[in-house]
Each structure stands twice: as structure tokens, then as C-alpha cells.
């Protein structure tokens, strides 16, 4: 078994003494007939709390089944609240329909399931129709929630789901960006109608500004010239101001809606908190001005469908933001691959100051 921290050349993808079934040239979808059978991964065999996480060295190796797919060796995986929701089974029925629209497999056919929606790594193999990427390209991606995730040594993605990793970012930093970038971009641009040209006179409120999406949104909006107010705890105020926030409201200092109602009305509210916020947040918007309230706390598959979170927006969202606008990755804590359960525990505690990242493999290009 090849160690998880080793970059595997194509010539070594064939286990000693084994061979993949020969595929007729007219049916081949990959550049090589070499293959591995298994790989290290964290999986779940049922939905539940943190004790359902299981490490295995015998997870099925992901194979290219369509000619536009690539195999990526995972160096770092970013975790999101979405992963906690998926571990508990939230959205399982909808995701099963995405994976198996004809209901061919039996119930529970998604197991063993690999979590992790952010990935940064290196392409190890390309399908025959992949034109713009090649082996050993360093890439990053936001993995759609119906696909196997990044808490594994390898993952298979389509070419339109990946983008070149900025050279200025390490794999750990890069794994903190894709999903939150795509989510924030979808909410603010696709749904909120914001762009660089119309943000100069806009007042934006971010409810829950210190987490992954909030920290990215602050930097994006300030790069576009908006006035940004965020809610956070008192000990996170300096942190969000350091990212560019103009005003911070402490949600632990009495009812936050009272403090916010004393401020000038807002053009757009981005809600990362949920709960009863929708009840009072609409009253904070400017009347008769086309102002918008965008929530990211509705059922996550609704967000995926409505906001287009997983529809191949990486070239637009993460790449434009990090390269053109110089938005920096905000990594709160990094865990080793053996510490995935602890990483989930950290994520579940909330009160984030950026992203939680798992270092799956060491090294790089």
C-alpha cells in the first residue's frame, strides 16, 4: 500500500502483480489502464453523531468512469458545517436522488460514504476528453454534496469542477476557500445582484461574520467598496475588523436585533445564523429600494439548487476572488488525517474564526 503522504506517479498506480481488465480502445475513458484497488479514507457506514466516523485503509479507489473526469491526490481537505449535516443524514433522500435518479440501488447504497467538500491536491490521471488540465497540475475544488468527498487519499471530479490552485497558496490555505467562496459568490452575486460596479454605495449586513462564508464575504465586499456591518461575539470583533469590516455588533450583549435596529437600514443582509433571525431581519432592510435578504441556513440542498453552489462555479468564484481581488485564506485550525473526529468536534462547537482544515497528505508539487 502506498503511504498517504507519497505522490504516486502513474507508472506506480498498478499494484504489483495485478492488472486492470483490458478495455477496448473505442470504450476507454482514461489515459491509463493502471489502477489501485483500495486507499485510506474516513468513512461513515450509517448516519449519526461523531462516533459513526471510521478510518479504513480499504476504501474503494475512485475510478474514472466518464472521459471528462480526473483523479486528484488529496493533500488538504476543508470541512464545512455541511459535512456535519451530512454526517447526521440531513438531506439524505435528496442526495440519494442525485446519486441514483432511477432508484436502481437499494436503500443505504451511498455507504460507505466519504465526507469533505473542499479539496486541494494534484491531478494523478485525466480522462481522455480532459483538455485544459494534465497530470501533476495542482488544483482545488468544491465537491458537490452527492459525490464522494475529500477525506480520502484520492477523489474523482469532473474537469469543470476543478480549477488551478493559485501558486501563492499552500494546499492547506487553498482547501479553506472553494466551498465558502462558491457559496458567498452565489449568495451575493447570483442571488443578491451585487457586483464591483454597484457596491460602492451599498450597506451590507452579515449575520455571523466570523465563520468561513462570513470571512470570505467581508473581504469580497470590501474589495468592491461596500460598507460592511457584521454580527459576532465580542472576542471576534478585532478579527473581523482586521478583515475589513466597518462595524461589528456583539450578539452576546443583549438582543442583537435591538442594537441593529438603531443603525441605518441595509441594502442586503446575508444570514449565516438562521433561527429566528428572519422574523426581525427583514425590518432592517431599506424599504422600497430592491433590498434583499439572503439566507444560507435553509435546508442545504435547497441552497445548492437555488444558489448554484455546486454547479462548476470555481473558475468564477474562488479563482477570481483569490487571484484578482487577493482575498486571503482564513484557516483557524489544522488537523492531521488521524484527527478527523477531533476536527468534526471543533466544527460542531461553532464560534468559528475561519475554516477547519485536515491535512490528508504532506508534500506538494
Instruction: Considering only residues 349 and 77, tell me which one the structure prediction assigns the higher pLDDT.
Output: 77
Helix (H), strand (E), coil (C) string for the chain: CCCCCCCCCHHHCCCCCCCCCCCCHHHCCECCCCCCCEEEEEEECCCCCHHHEEEEEEEECCCCCCCCEEEEEEEEEEECHHHHHHHCCCCHHHHHHHHCCCCCCCCCCCCCECCCCEEEEEEEEEECCCCCCCCCCEEEEECCCCCCCCCECEEEEEHHHEEECCCCCCHHHHCCCHHHHHHHHHHHHHHCCCCHHHCCCCEEEEECCCCHHHHHHHHHHHHCCCEEEEEECHHHHHHHHHCCCCEEEECCCCCHHHHHHCCCCECEEEECCCCCHHHHHHHHECCCCCCEEEECCCCHHHHHHHHCCCCCCCHHHHHHHHHHCCCCCCEEEEEEHHHHHHHHHHHHCCCCCCEEEEECCCCCC
Higher pLDDT, 28 or 3: 28
In the prediction, which pLDDT does 199 show? Answer: 94
pLDDT of residue 110: 84
Q: How confident is the model at residue 350 (pLDDT cuts 50, 70, 90)?
A: confident
Considering only residues 296 and 280, tell me which one the structure prediction assigns the higher pLDDT: 280
Q: One fold for both 38-177+331-359 and 182-321?
A: no
User: Which homologous superfamily is 38-177+331-359 in?
Assistant: Medium-chain alcohol dehydrogenases, catalytic domain (3.90.180.10)
User: Looking at the predicted structure, is the pLDDT value of residue 85 above 80?
Assistant: yes
- Which pLDDT does position 92 carry in this prediction? 73
* Average pLDDT score over residue span 193-207: 95
Of 19-33, 165-179, 272-286, minimum mean pLDDT range? 19-33
Average pLDDT over residues 185-205: 93
Average pLDDT over residues 158-182: 92
Confidence (pLDDT) at 355: 95
At residue 24, does pLDDT exceed 80? no
What is the model's pLDDT at position 21? 40
Fold of 182-321: Rossmann fold (3.40.50)
pLDDT average, residue stretch 338-361:
94
314 compared with 205, residue with greater pLDDT: 205
The residue ranges of every structural domain in the chain are 38-177+331-359, 182-321
Amino acid at each position: 500500500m502506498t503511504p498517504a503522504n507519497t505522490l504516486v506517479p502513474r507508472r506506480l498506480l498498478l499494484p504489483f502483480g495485478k492488472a486492470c481488465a483490458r478495455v477496448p480502445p473505442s470504450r476507454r475513458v482514461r489515459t491509463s489502464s493502471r489502477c489501485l484497488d483500495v486507499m485510506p479514507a474516513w468513512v461513515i457506514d450509517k448516519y449519526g453523531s461523531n462516533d459513526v466516523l471510521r478510518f479504513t485503509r480499504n476504501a474503494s479507489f475512485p475510478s474514472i468512469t466518464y472521459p471528462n473526469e480526473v483523479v486528484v491526490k488529496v493533500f488538504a481537505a476543508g470541512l464545512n458545517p455541511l459535512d456535519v449535516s451530512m454526517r447526521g443524514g440531513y438531506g439524505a433522500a435528496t442526495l440519494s436522488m442525485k446519486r441514483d435518479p432511477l432508484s436502481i440501488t437499494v436503500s443505504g447504497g451511498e455507504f460507505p460514504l466519504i465526507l469533505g467538500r473542499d479539496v486541494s491536491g494534484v491531478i494523478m490521471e485525466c480522462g481522455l476528453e480532459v483538455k485544459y488540465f494534465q497530470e501533476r497540475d495542482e488544483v482545488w475544488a468544491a465537491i458537490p454534496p452527492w459525490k464522494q468527498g475529500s477525506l480520502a487519499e484520492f477523489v474523482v471530479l469532473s474537469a469543470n469542477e476543478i480549477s488551478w490552485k493559485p501558486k501563492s497558496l499552500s494546499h492547506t490555505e487553498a482547501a479553506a476557500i472553494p466551498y465558502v467562496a462558491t457559496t458567498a459568490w452565489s449568495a451575493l452575486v447570483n442571488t443578491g445582484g451585487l457586483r464591483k460596479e454597484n457596491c460602492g454605495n451599498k450597506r451590507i449586513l452579515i449575520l455571523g461574520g466570523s465563520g468561513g462564508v462570513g470571512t470570505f464575504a467581508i473581504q469580497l465586499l470590501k474589495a468592491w467598496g461596500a460598507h460592511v456591518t457584521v454580527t459576532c461575539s465580542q472576542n471576534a470583533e478585532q478579527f473581523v475588523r482586521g478583515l475589513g469590516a466597518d462595524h461589528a455588533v456583539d450578539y452576546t450583549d443583549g438582543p442583537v436585533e435591538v442594537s441593529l435596529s438603531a443603525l441605518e437600514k441595509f441594502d442586503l443582509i446575508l444570514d449565516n445564523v438562521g433561527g429566528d433571525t428572519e422574523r426581525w431581519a427583514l425590518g432592517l432592510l431599506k424599504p422600497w429600494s430592491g433590498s434583499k435578504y439572503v439566507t444560507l441556513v435553509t435546508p442545504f440542498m435547497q441552497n445548492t439548487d437555488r444558489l448554484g453552489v455546486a454547479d462548476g462555479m470555481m473558475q468564477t468564484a474562488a479563482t477570481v476572488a483569490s487571484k484578482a481581488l487577493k482575498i486571503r485564506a482564513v484557516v483557524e485550525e489544522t488537523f492531521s488525517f488521524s484527527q478527523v473526529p477531533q476536527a468534526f468536534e471543533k466544527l460542531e462547537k461553532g464560534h468559528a474564526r475561519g475554516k477547519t482544515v485536515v491535512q490528508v497528505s504532506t508534500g506538494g508539487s
